[in-house]
Amino acid sequence: MQFLKDLFIATAYWTLPPGIKNLLKNAISGVVGAGECKEKRSLCLGANVSLKNKHKGERCFILATGPSVKKQDLSGLEGELCVAVSHFFLHRDIKTISPRYHVLAPYHPPFNFDDLQKVFSGFEQAYSDETTYVFGHRPYEFSICDFLKMYPEHVKTRTYFIDYSNSPPLDDQNHLLASTWDIGKKPFETRTVIYSAIQLAAYMGCKEIYLLGCDHDYLHDTKRVTNHHFYPEKEGVSDVDHLSAFTTERWFEEYYLRWKQYRLMREYLKSIGCEIYNSTHGGMLDVFPRLPLHEVLNDKQ
């Protein structure tokens, strides 16, 4: 049955127009859920229950890619539970920090399989076989799921998917519901990969979450479409085409929604006994209490 399903998906990919492909992907989105890849040649997309409370009571550090990261010494994170996102594998201390988890948001247009080749090559240079990958999935034309089916040599043993197809937005009515946060089903939709990392940390039972590199300072200059990361643009996957499509109005809308949803996340996390702090060096994000990284690391438990 799995073979027939994979054959159907592969045939559809090469023979059907994009619009029809996306309709079919939505129709079968129930089987493209969340799960662990247990074989090199097929994606096992079941429930993520093995991650539930896996790090209950622990603290974790979410490592984003804002320019502020260049101003911080992160070598003290060695041995800490770290969740890296996006292109953090380019960090100079990646081998020392050795994040336990790496999260990618659903890959969406204008990004494509060439971009994903670059990302997965970076994974293979930076990480060992002990790294766990958590990828967001939506039935986009160049999704990570389809990429791994086309290039099974990149499939890792510890790979999970979070299904965001038809996910609800986080709002005042659903933010305190445990089901809204359940990455084993369909959690609330993401506006940035940081959302996915916070969902993962909460699902794994972490009691403290510290954000690093979450500058969120695009409003300082809405016309700037480069140099939003700690690494040179040419080393990562360029955001120029994506960000060039944003108007000032679109940026104001985006930041209003992020700030509101971050506040709702803070309220939910507090309700389950989890505290979240912003340890980013600078930046605009003022929703979470600030706690400098050196103070956190000087208080190791």
- SS in 3 state form for 52-113? CCCCCCCEEEEECCCHHHHHCCCHHHCCCCEEEECCHHHCCCHHHHCCCEEEECCCCCCCCH
Under a CB-based contact definition with an 8 Å cutoff, are residues 41 and 192 in contact?
A: no
Per-residue exposure over 11-40, b if at least 16 CB sit within 10 Å of its own CB, e if not: eebeeeeeeebeebbeeebeebbbbbbeee
The torsion angles phi and psi of 209, rounded to 5 degrees, stand at -125, 130
The pLDDT of residue 224 is 60
What phi-psi label fits residue 279: left (phi over 0), alpha (psi between -120 and 50 degrees) or beta?
Answer: alpha
SS3 per-residue string spanning the chain: CHHHHHHHHHHHHHHCCHHHHHHHHHHCCCCCCCCECCCCCCCCCCCCHHHCCCCCCCEEEEECCCHHHHHCCCHHHCCCCEEEECCHHHCCCHHHHCCCEEEECCCCCCCCHHHHHHHHHHHHHHCCCCCEEEEEECCCCCCHHHHHHHCHHHCCCCEEEEECCCCCCCCCCCCCCHHHHCCCCCCCCCCCHHHHHHHHHHHCCCCEEEEECCCCCHHHCCCCCCCCCCCCHHHCCCCHHHHHCCCHHHHHHHHHHHHHHHHHHHHHHHHCCCEEEECCCCCCCCCCCECCHHHHHCCCC
Burial of 174 (0-12, 13-18, 19+ CB in 10 A): middle
Q: How far, rounded to the nearest angstrom, does the alpha carbon of residue 106 sit from its chain's CA centroid?
A: 8
State how far the alpha carbon of 237 is from the alpha carbons of 21, 127, 182, in Å.
25, 18, 30
Whole-model pTM: value is 0.82
Instruction: Copy the structure tokens of residue 250.
Output: 């679109």
pLDDT of residue 218: 67
What is the residue-level pLDDT of the chain in tens, covering all 301 positions?
444 444 444 444 444 444 444 444 443 333 333 344 443 333 444 569 899 999 999 999 999 999 999 989 999 999 999 999 999 999 999 999 999 999 999 988 788 899 999 999 999 999 999 999 999 999 898 999 999 999 999 998 899 999 999 899 999 999 999 999 999 988 999 999 999 999 999 999 999 999 999 998 866 655 665 567 778 777 766 566 666 777 888 878 888 999 999 999 999 999 999 999 999 999 999 999 999 999 999 876 4
Q: Tell me how far apart the 2 most distant CA atoms of the chain are, in Å.
A: 58
Specify the pLDDT at position 238.
59
pLDDT of residue 228: 72
The pLDDT of residue 39: 37
